Amino acid sequence: MDLLHRPRRLRRTPALRSLVRQTSLQATDLIYPLFVHEGARNEPIASMPGCQRWCLDALGDEVGRAWDLGIRCVVLFPKVADGLKSDDGAECFNEGGLIPRTIRRLKAEHPDMVIMTDVALDPYSSDGHDGIVSPHGVVLNDETVEILCQQALAQARSGADLVGPSDMMDGRVEAIRTTLDDHGFTDVGIISYTAKYSSAYYGPFRDALDSAPRTSGDKPIPTNKDTYQMDPANSREALIEADLDEEEGADILMVKPGLAYLDIVAKLRKGSTLPIAAYNVSGEYAMVKAAAERGWIEERRVVLETLLCFRRAGADLILTYHAPDAARWLQEG
């Protein structure tokens, strides 16, 4: 064949392929989500094989292991006892509560590790929603934002480096930024869950935290989060949310879920100069683990390919439960 262009020329050897490789993946691209609880022992999470709810005494060693693997950021999620949950989720801003104590302890043991937090009411809400639910079953926006500001402030006072509002209330980024600045925490960053979709991929996460919507007496509780999380059918709406979050002072924009929403990651990357994060969520993780356990896929190759594809789509950072395994595999080469 008389061909001027033969793309296979640059695929001929490993060295040539490496020379023209357009995307890379390294451990510092990964953020490691960790579940914490008040118990004396770690608790395995059945729907997330390999993950567990960490007790405080064991958590520091796990964070140290992550650091040694090259991971430089962890994000904390609390499993809150039912007795501490309430309609308004007020436990979320208790500076003696689980997350503030965890932050202080980790910062004492691992001062260089970047600590990210979750800002939302669902782990603390007796109704299982990210916001306050009115007696008529409406998730209240402005009243919720007031509490989220107190939550973010308590986390900042405890030493958090990044606060992550995942609630999807309107106006919360600006309100949190103003609150932090007014109290002298101008250096605490906001990684905003900018495009968080009302997704079926969150089930194992809600199992881990017991944070799914739940009935509460005679109050009508919405069974889903469709009135504040985004419709999976919409893409342009993500651009609106991104513009608003940038204007309100977000430092990093996030897309959640990630794997089924790579088009949204790419759109935000094209439209913003801010760092873009993607959340490789619990349902995506569980699917890979289940298939690997049955021998249907090669876990290492699938995980590393998936994470590389997040980077290729435009993600600078990836929140993933695969983080320690992926970092170890990257070290091994």
Q: What is the pLDDT of residues 234-293, one digit of tens each?
A: 999 999 999 999 999 999 999 999 999 999 999 999 999 999 999 999 999 999 999 999
Average pLDDT over residues 97-115: 98
Q: From the candidates 79, 196, 225, 267, which is the catalytic residue?
A: 196
Buried b / exposed e along 31-70 (16+ C-beta atoms within 10 A): bbbbbbbeeeebeebebbbebbbbebeebbebbeebbebb
Taking only the tens place, the pLDDT of each residue in 66-86 is 999 999 999 999 999 999 999
> Position of tokens 């993946």?
25
Q: From the candidates 85, 225, 256, 289, which is the catalytic residue?
A: 256
Q: How far is it, in rounded angstroms, from Cα 111 to Cα 8?
A: 48
Range in 196-200, 211-215, 327-331 with the lowest mean pLDDT: 211-215
Average pLDDT over residues 57-64: 97
Would you give the DSSP letter of residue 134?
A: P
Task: Say what percent of the chain tops pLDDT 70.
Answer: 99
User: In the prediction, which pLDDT does 226 show?
Assistant: 92
Average pLDDT over residues 103-110: 98
Average pLDDT over residues 290-306: 98
Q: Is the peptide bond before 257 cis (omega within 30 degrees of 0)?
A: yes
Q: Shortest CA distance to 230 belongs to which of 275, 281, 194?
A: 194
Q: Shortest CA distance to 209 belongs to which of 61, 330, 89, 88?
A: 89
256 counts as catalytic: yes
User: In the prediction, which pLDDT does 216 show?
Assistant: 67
Are 288 and 244 contacting, i.e. CB atoms less than 8 angstroms apart? no
User: In the prediction, which pLDDT does 219 show?
Assistant: 81
Q: Is the pLDDT of residue 50 over 80?
A: yes
Taking only the tens place, the pLDDT of each residue in 110-148 is 999 999 999 999 999 988 899 999 999 999 999 999 999
As beta bridge partners, residue 132 has 140
Q: How far is it, in rounded angstroms, from Cα 278 to Cα 264?
A: 10
Query: Can you give the pTM of this predicted structure?
Result: 0.95
The reply to whether 241 sits in an annotated binding site is yes
User: In the prediction, which pLDDT does 237 show?
Assistant: 98
Q: Where are the alpha helices (DSSP H) in 220-322?
A: 236-248, 262-271, 282-293, 299-313
219 counts as catalytic: no
User: In the prediction, which pLDDT does 209 show?
Assistant: 78
Are 237 and 271 contacting, i.e. CB atoms less than 8 angstroms apart? no
User: In the prediction, which pLDDT does 277 show?
Assistant: 99
Q: Hey, which bits of the chain come out as E strands? A: 30-36, 43-44, 52-54, 73-78, 114-119, 132-133, 139-140, 162-165, 189-196, 252-256, 276-280, 317-320
Q: How far is it, in rounded angstroms, from Cα 303 to Cα 120?
A: 29
- Cα dist. 248→4, 91, 209, 244 in Å? 52, 26, 29, 6
Q: How far is it, in rounded angstroms, from Cα 150 to Cα 243?
A: 25
Q: Is the pLDDT of residue 164 over 90?
A: yes
Average pLDDT over residues 214-233: 87
Which sign does the torsion angle of CA 101, 154, 216, 222 carry?
Answer: negative
Collapsing DSSP states into helix, strand and coil, what is residue 97?
A: coil
Fold of the 24-332 domain: TIM Barrel (3.20.20)
Average pLDDT over residues 29-55: 96
Mention every residue, 6+ apart, whose C-beta is less than 8 A from residue 195.
230, 237, 238, 241, 242, 253, 254, 255, 256, 261, 264, 268
